[in-house]
Amino acid sequence: MTTAARKAALPAGLTRAQLLELYYWMRLTRSLEEKLVALYRQTKVVGGLFRSLGQEADAVGSAFALDRTKGDILSPLIRNLGSMLVQGATPIEVLRQYMAKADSPTRGRELNIHFNDLARGYLGQISHLGDMVTVMCGVALSFKIRKEPRVGLVYIGDGAMSTGAFHEGINFAAVQRLPLVIVAENNGYAYSTPIHKQTAVKFLVEKAAGYGVAGDQADGNDVLAVYEVTKRAVDRARSGGGVTLVELITYRRKGHAEHDNQGYVPKEEIEAWEARDPIDRYLRQLETSGWASRADLSAIDARVTSEIDAAVAQCENEPFPAPATALDGVLASAPAADLEWYRSL
């Protein structure tokens, strides 16, 4: 794999630097989560911890299809840490969120990756699943009203597609022909509930027809396939072609959160999906196609390690927010009577 003659043509219209970037984001996602597991076991993560093990390609590849120079915005789910990182969220922000630090993006008010920066292009979710589809309808509607060539992307899971909010959102987006991509992550389980108990369709993409929107599907563990299918949907949205429902077939290899031992899942099922690990698979692809050398990849691994270590070192001993900061910022300006009540406490 050392001579140029043996290199395969570059895929999906991507440059070699972009191919390496995809690897970087997936590796950063996994390593950051592994670091968070260590911090969780030390009780430094004060709440629950959610993993995206085995889903890094779906998160990273889909977000990578957006155009950050045009101001595209996505709304992630709990297993889309990779999407957030691609859009510009930083490891130290994620660490501060999980550890509830005073300087976290939400000043200790919200959990994990529930944070946002519209300038960087991500709008954090709330826990009520399906709602973000409707909120992203509004984001996309603002693009349409202002005639901006921007695209919104919202993730939905196999479980959340059972909500009324999902139905209202996708239907609204379809009728309004909004520049919105809806990425349905089919990872097999919603908490402990397998997909056949969520829906009677075999594939989530079948639902696209019922809403009159385009549907597409890809192997969610193949980062290049994810990128390509999402890019088609993004291009369609940007050119006025409306909504696409993209189904990514993947698998949740950990429990709902770290406390969940996944007793409801057969071991062989997890093992079968371990063999399809998206990062291992992409590494093999990069090396056998001659798109990257071992040295390139080792350099990325080292960069990821040092970035995470530096971020942990910087924020690990930072303080929690001061208690009384809990009172401010409910409204643009607090009512006088409430201030008096607070002061009397």
Partner 1 sequence: MTQVTYLEAIRDGLREEMERDDRVFMMGEDIGNYGGAFKVTEGFQARFGAERVIDTPISEVAIVGAAAGAAHMGLRPVCEMQFIDFLSCAYSILTNYVATARYRADLKTPMVVRGPCGGYVRGGPFHSQNPEAAYLHTPGLKIVAPATARDAKGLIKAAIRDDDPVLYFEHKFLYRRIKEDLPDGEDIVTPIGEARLAREGAHLTVVTYSAMVFKALEAAEVLAKEGISLEVLDLRTLLPFDEDAIVASVKKTNRALIVHEDTRTGGIAGEITARINERCFEWLDAPVRRVCAHDVPLPYAPTLEDFVLPQTDDIVKAARWMVAY
* Closer residue to partner 1, CB minimum distance, 68 or 109: 109
Instruction: With CA atoms as reference, report the closest residue to 186 among 210, 207, 167.
Output: 207
Q: How far, rounded to the nearest angstrom, does the alpha carbon of residue 72 sit from its chain's CA centroid? A: 14
Cβ at position 30, least distance to partner 1 in Å = 26
* Closer residue to partner 1, CB minimum distance, 86 or 133: 133
104 and 320 in contact (C-beta within 8 Å)? Answer: no
Q: How far, rounded to the nearest angstrom, does the alpha carbon of residue 91 sit from its chain's CA centroid? A: 14
* Closer residue to partner 1, CB minimum distance, 73 or 292: 73
Q: How many angstroms separate the CA atoms of 36 and 142, rounded?
A: 36
Q: Between vectors from CA 273 to CA 51 and to CA 79, what angle results, nearest 5°? A: 20
User: What are residue 142's phi and psi, to 5 degrees?
Assistant: -65, -35
Identity at 51, one-letter amino acid code: R
First to last CA, the chain: 71
Q: Are strands 193-194 and 189-190 parallel, antiparallel or unpaired?
A: antiparallel
Q: Are strands 214-219 and 244-249 parallel, antiparallel or unpaired?
A: parallel
Look at residue 339 and give its three-state secondary structure: helix
Q: How many angstroms separate the CA atoms of 42 and 36, rounded?
A: 10
* Closer residue to partner 1, CB minimum distance, 61 or 105: 105
* Residue ranges binding partner 1 (CB under 8 A): 106, 109-110, 114-116, 118, 123-124, 126-128, 131, 133-145, 164-165, 168-169, 171-172, 175-176, 329-332, 335-338
Cβ at position 76, least distance to partner 1 in Å = 13
Q: Which of the residues are catalytic?
A: 252, 256, 264
Q: How far, rounded to the nearest angstrom, does the alpha carbon of residue 27 sit from its chain's CA centroid? A: 14
* Closer residue to partner 1, CB minimum distance, 139 or 205: 139
Query: Per-residue b/e over 292-303, b at no fewer than 16 CB within 10 Å?
Result: beeeebeebeee
* Closer residue to partner 1, CB minimum distance, 137 or 224: 137
Helices (H), 177-261: 207-211, 223-238
- Rounded to whole angstroms, what are the CA distances from 13 to 7, 9, 204, 275? 15, 10, 28, 27
* Closer residue to partner 1, CB minimum distance, 31 or 142: 142
Instruction: Record the tokens describing residue 110, joined without a space.
Output: 């919200």
